[in-house]
A and B are shown apart, each in its own frame.
Chain A
């Protein structure tokens, strides 16, 4: 557990027929941090995760996990856990048999934790896996992921089909167990706001490219929405990169990428403008992923699409 860099990927590309699933992806994941891998459906999240965990392999590029390429390397693979969103299980397996298999392969497997989670999620362990509902199937993956306590753990859209209560159980258990046994966790999601406060670092992928790779802290307050009288707003935001515009009659509401100083905030208030923070989800949707909503694209929009903080 002494290695500082858990996962390191250099210039990964992967092409499926004519689709570029990954395009020149370079990233590093530090040990003992919780990462969010965010992006739209089809952005390349699962492809990236399966290559990083040695289940798949890139068209070109290099991956190292704790300094070793994971593909077909048992010693490295045994430190990784990645359950797919569409994970397949042997046909006749009952739920407890999947956990039994996991306890064989994951050296840090914690049976007590698995049992607690089974109770938390109300999982019928004697039922055949193919008879489970979507939510229960997700719970099986979540339990394997958490109880494996693998040094590098990937969760692929772990909340699918889980109700709000079960999702909260997952988030709480994740944070709780992480604080006891820190490890590198990657959470792929498109429910961004729901996981926002779990994440220490955010990586956003779109069209197979990394469009944002930054600390969650530095994203807090990295953008602000200014609203009020249209002409006053336009005057105020002059020169800042615009990430979103809304207008209604003489009123305008414009989100800009900026950290306003105390003085600017006071100035805004004096001008009768409203300031509100842009949530991580808004930021992601408006900047990294979204097309500019209005046709009046400014230079700021173009720039904003590739920024990193």
Chain B
């Protein structure tokens, strides 16, 4: 396995607990954890059947056949698994639930067996020889259960000698399920809101303006400096698109304040947009490419309408993956962007560049007593790059943190960087009805964190993803980690910033 070294890795902390021990399997241990099926009005507003259709079997097979044609990777992933077993103990949901269906290979086989039965010669004639299965109601239910116990984090893919991307298989599974009437309420409802209102939370422009006004007031009270958080300001140079959780939740909002302070200090003329008031793109989670494109299109449309020449994405993991890896093919070319900034940039790379150019100064003594460790978000670490340096997505956030706080500690090497563990709530699983799975899936991250709390008295866990921040704040108390504060990278940057 090729794991790039994370620059400046401190002494490796000993991992406590047992995530390294491969658990004995417990058949069906995760079977009862199910997320609510989308309500019919939600499904129908997305042009999908409201309830399970009568001819679900034929429809599902036909849709799978279509996806196999459209997504060449999916077909390759169906054909290339050799059952070597390298992935079996790499999934946090398997390590947390012990359910063998949460081994990545078994999760893929939920579809692979059906693929073989209906789309391969050997499977059609000799199903018993090649592990081919008919799609029945029971298997369909297993699809629904276990494709919603995968956060599409792609840690297993790093260890797969064939590079099989389980997330693509999960997305295909969810896509087929939604097409026969079994979408997931949480993700599908969010997609309807982002399409109708402009963001996942459903915050209308008036609510957004109220929040931003309140935050401007708070910053002025705290610092005495009139830092602005502009909305829909035509003629701005830079559009900042951030997850709507940044306008709403704690500790996200502290990060939002950090972006504003940095951009103020740098003298950049920037704005948020009420049309594209959401960076997240749940179309990636549900595997529905048309939704993914439509959601991405808002960003292009808003940027062109406001006349900006830079697009910057806030702290959101999968938004960054979509922006960095797919934006051009989804809604490009972005010919209206400036020559100096021809692609969407991450707020971390913007801040990092300003720091390197000496335009802003960070003073770590302003964060006295803060000892930080950094949780690499899966979609950033494994699904993107950052800046114009190799592995910038791993090094840039760390360099910013080291410049902002007096103490920085790495968690165990096999839990960070490219091999980072998911927070346990990604990929459309950040819903209360999956809380049991979220707690179980966060076990490896919690154990790696516990180790550095014991060894180095870590006080803060930082992430650059709205989902990671919400998830980790909610689940860490269940792992007895009550004193570690989960926060935004730009919260600590904003507090360290020399503001004038």
Do A and B pair up? The answer is: no
Binding site for B on A (CB under 8 A): none
Binding site for A on B (CB under 8 A): none
